[in-house]
């Protein structure tokens, strides 16, 4: 994902972290780090007598290296004489890859509203609030790719921005054709709100909110797309260059 924490931020985050249970007992310095809140995913070979450990904290991958005598641990990336980051590949394989696969699976299984051709080869997920002006702008800017059948946008509706956002989101979700209702909403014709919605629709919106919270997102739109290394997420309206990256290329 695009969001990364600097080592200094991570170091501060370790202070006062709540210890968590781990499935395996690690060497003492590694166990000490795990007790501060890191998840240890496994170990890997490293040069100069070091043993590498792939760890994560709040979804962010972290490399940890155990010294040859087993008495000390070093947190951070290992770099060779040419400046190559030797931590990137094992972290990607052991931490980021599985995390990205799990996030993409959660998005696929969420309650999304289709925008575009269901057979379009590129899939993009975006978390949308009906009152979000940037969500509407993103919808408008993506029309060339969507209408050409190159990209399908899957909107995960939430209602967080204004007092009537939940009602608008529920009205779209509970309409006979949510895809059409979302399209008409973005053209200025939102389905009328009702006093009561079905428990199933309310549960759908609640689960969308839980998904957004679980992913640590705070802005709409939040857009997920696949890249060679996994997935990326952009919070807010992307610039033109990033929009082309999200859509997989220049506008048709």
pLDDT, one tens digit per residue, over 152-191 is 999 999 999 999 999 999 999 999 999 999 999 999 888 7
The CA-atom distances, in angstroms, between 80 and each of 46, 62, 161, 177, 235 are 11, 17, 47, 56, 34
Residue 94, pLDDT > 80, answer yes
Structure tokens at 64: 């940890």
Query: Is the pLDDT reported for residue 138 higher than 70?
Result: yes
Distance between CA atoms of 108 and 144, rounded to whole angstroms? 23
- Residue 95: the pLDDT is 80
pLDDT of residue 167: 95
Dihedral of the CA atoms 7, 46, 229, 108 (nearest 10)?
-80
Task: Check whether the bond before 26 is cis (ω within 30° of 0).
Answer: no
Nearest to 56 by CA among 98, 107, 104: 98
> If pLDDT is split at 50, 70 and 90, which confidence band does 93 have?
confident
- Does the structure show a pLDDT above 50 at 9? no
Say yes or no to pLDDT of 52 above 70. Answer: yes
Model confidence band, residue 15 (pLDDT cutoffs 50, 70, 90):
very low
SS3 (DSSP) at 140 = helix
What pLDDT, in 10s, does the model give residues 204-220? 999 999 999 999 899 99
Domain ranges (residues) in the chain: 7-91, 107-247
Q: Which is higher by pLDDT, 30 or 17?
A: 30
pLDDT value of residue 242: 96
Q: Which residues contact 215 (CB under 8 A, 6 or more apart)?
A: 103, 106, 222, 233
**What is the structure's pLDDT at 183?**
95
Cα–Cα distance for residue pair 164/167, rounded to 1 Å? 5
Q: Which two tokens stand for residue 217?
A: 């997102």
87-94 contacts, C-beta under 8 A, 24 or more apart: 87/52, 87/63, 90/44, 90/52, 90/54, 90/63, 91/54, 91/61, 91/62, 91/63, 92/61, 92/229, 92/230, 94/41, 94/42, 94/44, 94/54
Overall pTM surpassing 0.85 (yes/no): no
**Residue 190: what pLDDT?**
80
Domain 7-91, second-level architecture:
Roll (3.10)
Looking at residue 24, its pLDDT comes to 63
Between residues 61 and 5, the one the model is more confident about: 61
Q: What is the mean pLDDT of residues 52-60?
A: 87
Record: fold of 107-247: Glutaredoxin (3.40.30)
pLDDT of residue 12: 31
180 alpha-carbon distance from chain centroid: 26
pLDDT tier at 20, thresholds 50, 70, 90: very low
The dihedral region occupied by 170, where left means phi > 0, alpha psi between -120 and 50, and beta the remainder, is alpha
């Amino acid at each position: 994902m695009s969001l990364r924490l600097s080592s200094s931020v991570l170091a501060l985050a370790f202070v006062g972290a709540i210890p968590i249970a781990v499935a395996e007992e690690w060497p003492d310095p590694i166990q000490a780090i795990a007790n501060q809140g890191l998840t240890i995913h496994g170990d890997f070979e490293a040069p100069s007598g070091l043993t590498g450990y792939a760890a994560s904290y709040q979804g962010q991958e972290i490399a940890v290296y155990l010294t040859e005598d087993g008495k000390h641990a070093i947190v951070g990336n290992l770099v060779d004489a040419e400046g190559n980051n030797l931590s990137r590949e094992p972290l990607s394989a052991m931490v980021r890859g599985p995390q990205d696969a799990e996030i993409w699976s959660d998005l696929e299984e969420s309650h999304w509203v289709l925008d575009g051709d269901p057979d379009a080869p590129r899939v993009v997920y975006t978390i949308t609030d009906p009152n979000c002006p940037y969500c509407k702008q993103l919808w408008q800017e993506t029309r060339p790719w969507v209408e050409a059948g190159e990209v399908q946008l899957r909107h995960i509706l939430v209602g967080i921005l204004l007092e009537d956002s939940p009602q608008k989101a529920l009205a779209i979700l509970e309409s006979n054709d949510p895809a059409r209702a979302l399209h008409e909403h973005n053209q200025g014709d939102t389905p009328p709100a009702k006093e009561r919605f079905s428990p199933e629709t309310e549960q759908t919106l609640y689960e969308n909110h839980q998904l957004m919270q679980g992913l640590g997102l705070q802005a709409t739109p939040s857009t997920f797309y696949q890249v060679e290394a996994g997935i990326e997420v952009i919070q807010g309206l992307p610039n033109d260059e990033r929009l082309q990256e999200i859509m997989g290329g220049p506008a048709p």
